[in-house]
Structure 1
Amino acid sequence: MSSSDLGRALCIITGASRGFGRAVAVQLSRLMKPGSVFVLTARSGDDLRALQEELSGSEAGKAGLRAVCVVTDLGQKEGPESIVKAAVEASTEEIDHIILINNAASLGDISRFTKDFTTMADVDSYLSFNFSSCLCLTAGILQKFPQRPGLKRTVVNVSSKCAVQPCSSWVLYCSGKAARHMMFKVLAQEEPDLRVLNYSPGPMDTAMLEEGRLRTGDPSLKKFISDMYLEEKVLTCEESCAKMMKLLLEDNYTSGDHIDVFEV
């Protein structure tokens, strides 16, 4: 059954400083009850604090929404731990909905092909930021906020079509997204009370897609991305985010499902 709001929520968003993560924070703030709390995380402190100020000055902020910034690198061991700690400290007894948005991600070196990755350190570094931290953060939040009567828990993995479809010269990105995709499908099976959503936001006008347009090693994929810009098939972050908000409010997806923006 569709709802008009997401409750009095504690919402943790990784990669919140710009792009899709920032749009998610702004749109979620309009759907949360007074007394809700954001834990906003990213590597860029200045951008996070600018978002914090924007949320504080919004109608939601004036109605009692709080935002806490955690400037951290998820690729480091301390990253997930510092976010979990901040979430516990920011939470109140009135919170009735825990929302974790696993948004932070990077493309990796998309100028190279699979056969070019012979150094384990390069691969380990990529997976540490894009997969390991996501798993450890999700596990940490679920442990600190276990199931109890009256508490709803939602975990979103910002996924990609690349989780289910190979793209030449994007081996790190595709592999990382595929691993996250399966991790959250397993989680949905293990935790039936949990609401788990794999959301693919589509091609958006972000620094990441621009990097793909400029640096992709495979010529045909590079042309495909450039053509999307020319044909105006690139979405704004706000357009895609609105579709995700619709899914969260209606709450009738099958937990663990992979849903693409164009299916909403």
Structure 2
Amino acid sequence: MHIAEGVLPPVQCAIWYAAAAPFVVHGAHRVVKEVREHPENKLLLATAGACTFLLSSIKLPSVTGSSSHPTGTGVGAILFKPPVMAFMGVIVLIFQALLLAHGGITTLGANTFSMAIAGPWIGYWAYRLTRRLHGPNALAIFLCMALSDLATYCVTSFQLAFAFPDASSGVFGAAGKFLGIFAISQVPLSIMEGFLGILLFRFLARVAAPQLAGLGLDVAGGSGTGAPAGTSGAAEKEDANV
């Protein structure tokens, strides 16, 4: 992840910008609405943004000669739904491109689409599906965090494959090679991020229980519904409006 400056052709940079823009605009609207209607959740919004910034800034060398890092986008996806992460994620990526040389401005659209859009949405739907199947809450959080991370790298692999198709096997052949490079280090890293997410939400359940309840979350509960009694209908309605 964090495709570097100048790696993608200009036309593909423009396409990824256009693909990411509607999600970012919608996310900005959702963030403004959340702050206006629920100012008590500002600290949780900051927590979600800080988690994404800190984890995705960690650059770990992999055995394949590449480098990998967690993403942390599953936290915000669970707390505020994926649209919010599109806006928060692009802010994180701008700071990282300008201050840490992670990614670039020309590739910002592509990096936003993979880390701040595709990753959170895939992780969130895994979280929702696990809850509907009445799985344990910890499992839902684990899957959201882990799959948000892993899905980001899968999308990035296809982005690179579109830019550099294999001479004989085309885009899918190139995607297989890129996935092979990332998967060796990213699968265990995703698993570790999943467990980290469980620990983080257990901590939030102790220090921010009223705010979590207001969001329709009961991460300390054992029912696996993720919503306290009397709020499940409201939570389902909110999910339908995402």
> Given the two structures, how large is their TM-score scaled by the length of structure 1?
0.30
Q: Point out the structure with the larger strand share.
A: 1
Q: Point out the structure with the larger helix share.
A: 2
